[in-house]
């Protein structure tokens, strides 16, 4: 694996601008696929009433927050935070994409 990483870094150091643009696009596409895979896995494992933890995103003070799913839509869900109103989330609820959640059930 270390040899592979070194070969990748060597390629990047020698790549032309066009090759770097192609590589950047490939990395972007791969990250998108990974995010979608995580979102699909989370979506399949939750329902209204499921307990979740917010694992990432902005604002950072939500990272690690616990809550309960109260509504599910196509690409996002609404989480009622255990802590109640936090920061700009005065209602105590957050609408968040699935890939930022960790199911606890």
pLDDT, tens only, 7-50: 989 999 999 999 999 999 999 999 999 989 999 999 999 999 99
Phi first, then psi: give them for residue 101, nearest 5 degrees: -115, 150
Write the CA distances from 38 to 3, 4, 89, 102, integer angstroms: 28, 25, 25, 10
pTM beyond 0.85, yes or no? no
Q: Which of 7, 8, 25 is nearest to 17 (CA)?
A: 25
- Give the mean model confidence (pLDDT) for residues 71-89: 93
pLDDT confidence of residue 1: 65
Phi first, then psi: give them for residue 46, nearest 5 degrees: -120, 160
> For the chain, what are the domain ranges?
1-105
Domain 1-105 has CATH 2.30.30.30: yes
Contact between 41 and 100 (Cβ < 8 Å): no
């Amino acid at each position: 694996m270390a040899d592979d990483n070194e070969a990748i870094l060597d390629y990047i150091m020698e790549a032309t601008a066009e090759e770097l643009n192609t590589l950047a696009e490939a990395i972007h596409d791969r990250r998108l696929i990974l995010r979608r895979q995580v979102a699909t896995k989370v979506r399949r494992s939750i329902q209204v009433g499921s307990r979740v933890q917010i694992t990432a995103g902005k604002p950072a003070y939500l990272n690690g927050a616990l809550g309960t799913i109260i509504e599910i839509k196509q690409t996002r869900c609404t989480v009622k935070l255990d802590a109640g109103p936090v920061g700009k989330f005065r209602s105590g609820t957050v609408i968040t994409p699935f890939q930022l959640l960790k199911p606890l059930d």
